[in-house]
A = this chain, B = another copy of it.
Amino acid sequence: MRIKLTLSYDGTAYCGWQVQPNGVSVQEVVEKAIEKATGERVRVTGSGRTDSGVHAEGQVAHFDTESSVPADKFYKAINVHLPADVKILKSEAVTDDFHACNKAKKKTYRYALYLSDVDLPLKDRYAVKIDKLPDLSLVQKVASTLEGEHDFKAFCASGSGAKTTVRTVYKIAIEQKQNDILFCVTGNGFLYNMVRIMVGTLLDVGYGKLTENDVKEMLNTGNRKKGGKTLPAKGLCLINVEY
């Protein structure tokens, strides 16, 4: 039986989703919890990697099991063996052709910033401080330049093994709630550090350091050096994956 899991984690203590030689990954923590719950050593396949320190509200993964635990009760059996910073929200039976990574159609990430002149202890775990407000209407206008199918090579950190750097961004929504500024980015897939570079670049637009033409040039030339900096991992959260 193939089981689809929807899970949430606080990525602070993890080297990311995927098993790595150094550091503890969310993937291995989930695999160990399943082994404790069922006695089976399984491989859990995620919708994609999340980087070290990135959080998830709705990561999706799948695994195969011979266990007799009912699919929709599986999450409770696994959660007993998970630490407080990783929990399964939902488990469900899926057909054998479901694949958490290959069948993913849309992903939404949220990048959270907060406006303050001091680091705020109660915000700083899940958001990144900015000390002045960017021009958000300009940011939203230039963000729409990034929507659609483009070669996002200029928005990709080196070291990515992606076969193609063409992706489709369906929507970039920017919302300000008092001192919190949230970027929600939905696409068919994302390159290594892509959201963190996009938001870093758009912030520079909002501060007048980059123009709409600079962003267009990034898309045309694939030149990463033209863009803004890669923002910290802690502001990023994988919100959901659609199939």
Contact = CB atoms under 8 A, between A and B. Distances in A.
Contact of A79 (B9, B75, B118): B118
Interface string A78-89: 010000111111
A4 interface: no
Interface stretch (A32-40, A100-108, A122-130): A122-130
Contacts of A79: 118-119
Contact of A122 (B55, B75, B118): B55
A119 B87 contact: yes
A237 interface: yes
A31 interface: no
B122 A237 contact: yes
A8 interface: yes
A23 B9 CA distance: 28
A84 B121 contact: yes
Contacts of A120: 8, 87, 89
Nearest to A11: B121
Interface residues of A, number: 22
Contacts of A119: 79, 84, 87
Interface centre among A85, A88, A122 (most CB of B within 10 A): A122
Contact of A10 (B8, B10, B85, B122): B122
Interface centre among A87, A121, A122, A125 (most CB of B within 10 A): A121
Contacts of A126: 122
A180 interface: no
A147 interface: no
A151 interface: no
A28 interface: no
A204 interface: no
A111 to B, nearest CB: 14
A51 interface: no
Nearest to A83: B121
B10 A57 contact: no
Nearest to A8: B121
Cβ-closest 3 pairs across A and B = A10-B121, A85-B121, A8-B121
